[in-house]
Amino acid sequence: MKHYEQLYIGGQWVAPAGKGTIDVIDSGTEAVMGRIPEGIEADAEAAVAAARAAFDAWASTPAAERGAYLQKIAQNLKARTDELAEIIAGEVGMPLKLARAIQVGSPVYNWSLYAKLASEFQYEERLGNSLVVREPVGVVAAITPWNYPLNQITLKVAAALAAGCTVVLKPSEVAPLNAFVLAEAIHEAGLPAGVFNLVTGFGPVVGELIARHPEVDMVSFTGSTRAGKRVSEVASATVKRVALELGGKSASVILDDADFPAAVKGTVSACFLNSGQTCVAHTRMIVPESRYEEARALAKEAAEGFTVGDPREEKVKLGPLASAVQQARVLEYIERGIADGAELVTGGPGLPAGVTKGFFVKPTVFGRVPRDAAIAQEEIFGPVLTILTAKDEDDAVAIANDSLYGLGGAVWAASDERAMRVARRIRTGQIDINGGTWNMVAPFGGYKQSGHGRENGKYGLEEYLVYKSMQLKAPKI
């Protein structure tokens, strides 16, 4: 069992001010797999003070030197790939092979990417008699989720450090152990004291304090829309910058001329990745009414091909959900779907066959779902696909846009040209065209109540920089 008794503040491991602890539960076995400190407001205050004290020196550190630190961190994390994959598979429930590639491989890539971007980015530009410079925004509070814990930490912390900001990190208490491994990797890299600080605890205590703190210049939050609204509310009192990456209800639009076997299989896979615990999961599959039966049969076959079980077993394609709370939430939505009259194609309430413990849910598909049903409108965050039917292309676009969210999506058609034409009409931050793959340097973020701000690549770096214009005297003629 991983048992951490200290927080990382001001470049050292320190005893927390409070005496509370938080158990970390293995999602596949329901056993306690770790224990962390329950930080309190005094711990958060100390972390903010340390970050503020370190800011001026770090902001003036040459960008190439900042990048060298980040590269050391990337190397230290890569050396602990197997350990991190095991931890995150237990915390979150992603099958081990995928956890190694996605949950660890992506953060390692992104630390290296920001190491490179730190020194390559153009921080200054001459415009007429002005020198426009981009400077670090200041002290950043990073509040991160449990579904892709280390990667979401990385997209905030690595980008902020590359930009010259100092950071206070509050990871999710559901999946926090990976953050302690990161803190160890950062300490081993020799990052100057106070540049990175880790405080664990609960959102209403630690999260709210750092979001409202007057010495914090920016808060970057990833999580539910409900929690994001609260972060915005408490941060507004100090008029700080706020970046939010929130919920999603992404639509996969399959047009009448698409390759249906490929489109349906691709949609189911995008819906069920990480047991559906993905903010951009393609949870609404929109198909022509005339081809519903075909789509239904293909979705049923694809869903039933997902082997459910302990994420550490190589044959498993669908692991558990991250917590008992999340399991109960998803099962409640499945019951609501049935009560609202949607057709249960496969899956449904109860544990999968052969499963007696762990936070599992059956891979579930609903058909002929009313577009105003809860399961068609609300983020479920589990392996639940809803199939909706459209009369034509215009109706499919209208259904796709009939959502509070706008984070991800897909369009499938016989040609990329047609798919892109339809994609331009859908109000969402990113859309896969005929199975287009994830790009870790393209901007990631949402429209509407999916939030604002962008992560990934140079776009993520820019979030942590502010413009300054220096007006110079015009030369005498």
Long-range contacts of residues 231-238, Cβ cutoff 8 Å, at least 24 apart: 231/143, 231/207, 234/208, 235/211, 237/212, 238/212, 238/213, 238/214
CA distances from 312 to 87, 102, 148, 315, 326 (A): 10, 15, 17, 9, 20
Q: Is position 245 annotated as part of the catalytic site?
A: yes
How many H helices and E strands in the chain?
A: 16, 23
Catalytic residue among 245, 379, 455, 463: 245
Tell me, yes or no, if 38 is annotated catalytic: no
Across 163-183, b (16+ Cβ under 10 Å) vs e yields: bbbbbbbbbbbbbbbbbbbbb
Determine contact, residues 50/199, Cβ cutoff 8 Å. no
**Which pair of structure tokens corresponds to residue 32?**
């306690």
Please give, one letter per residue, the 3-state secondary structure of 281-300: CCCEEEEEHHHHHHHHHHHH
Q: Is 387 helix (H, G, I), strand (E, B) or coil?
A: strand
Tokens standing for residue 227: 């929690």
Nearest C-alpha neighbor of 382 from the set 92, 29, 175: 92
Catalytic choice (271, 279, 455, 463): 279
**How far is Cα 326 from Cα 89, in angstroms, rounded to an integer?**
16
Q: Which of 192, 213, 193, 210 is nearest to 201 (CA)?
A: 210
Enzyme catalytic residues:
245, 279
